Amino acid sequence: MQAKRLSGRVAFVTGAGSGIGYSCAQRFADEGAVVVGLDVNECDEWEAIESQSPGSRFVVADVCDLPAQEALVAETVDAHGRLDIVVTAAGVAGGGPVHAIPIEEWDRVQNINLRGTFLSVRAALPPMMEQHSGSVITVASVEGLEGTEGGSTYNASKGGVVLLTKNIAMDYGRLGIRANSICPGFIETPLFHSVFSDKAFDKYRERIRDQHKLGRFGRSEELAGAAFFLASDDSSFVTGQCLVVDGGFTAGHRVGFTELMGLE
């Protein structure tokens, strides 16, 4: 039987009720970790993770609620003696032209995507500092690395996550704590479908798909594989990096020459 690579480790995953967060929690449990999940919504599927990984649990809470996250981390450390991994996958979409974005909408996206990430990592760091080890994995986006039309609110929040993560890597590296961002392309998750469910977006959806050089959108389990790498000892000398998992979206501009060259 193949050894489980995360046996004995404890992970804290936000946004764990669906999409990338749930897939990360599932992969970590598959690899032997105890996983504590947090999401603002209930998740019936978590029963499978809890049965597979004894000690794992799921809590309904908001990433904007620091006391709730601190309490959950404290309970986790009391129960298991450590915290090895944090994945900040909670997030929301949002955007529009800057002159027309309601201030309340700007604040909502920044509060969840950027401030929520900050609060989750802030809650997770103390036990990692005490044990002189840990892997902080933030979920940013390719839209935190380059602009997209109408993406101002979301892009700003994810760009902030990227630089926050680099600073965490700089500040805590001497304590044995690594920090890296995963920057996904467009991944088929409930959030993705909520944005592109309107028929008016069909043609744009296909244009975006076409800019992924693999010719498809990503799957959440493919992001979980990247998170597993960053959580495991295979990435023991990797910190302060943005791991881009985007099917080639940021590789360059596609104009159709592959068809001319007979490569389609």
CATH number of the domain that residue 114 is part of? 3.40.50.720
3 within domain boundaries: no
DSSP state of 11: E
**pLDDT score, position 42:** 96
Q: Is residue 127 part of a domain?
A: yes
What per-residue confidence (pLDDT) applies to 1? 60
pLDDT of residue 81: 98
Total residues found in the chain within this entry:
264
In a domain, 52, yes or no: yes
What is the residue-level pLDDT of the chain in tens, covering all 264 positions? 677 999 999 999 999 999 999 999 999 999 999 999 999 999 999 999 999 999 999 999 999 999 999 999 999 999 999 999 999 999 999 988 999 999 999 999 999 999 999 999 999 999 999 999 999 999 999 999 998 888 899 999 999 999 999 999 999 999 999 999 999 999 998 877 777 777 777 888 888 899 999 999 999 999 999 999 999 999 999 999 999 999 999 999 887 778 878 887
- Is the pTM higher than 0.85? The answer reads yes
Q: What is the total count of domains within the chain?
A: 1
Structural contact between residues 207 and 245, judged by C-beta atoms closer than 8 angstroms: no
Q: Is residue 26 part of a domain?
A: yes
- Per-residue pLDDT at 247: 96
Look at residue 4 and tell me if it is in a domain. no
Residues assigned a catalytic role: 154
Domain that holds residue 156: 10-260
Cβ–Cβ under 8 Å, residues 99 and 150: no
Q: What pLDDT does 260 receive?
A: 78
2, part of any domain: no
71 lies in some domain: yes
Rounded CA separation 26/45 (Å): 10
DSSP-assigned states of every residue in 73-137: HHHHHHHHS---EEEE---------GGG--HHHHHHHIIIIIIHHHHHHHHHHHHHHHHT-EEEE
pLDDT of residue 204: 86
Q: Return the beta strands (E) in the chain as ranges.
A: 10-14, 34-39, 57-60, 85-88, 134-139, 177-184, 242-245
Tokens of 227: 């998170």
Residue 5 lies in a domain: no
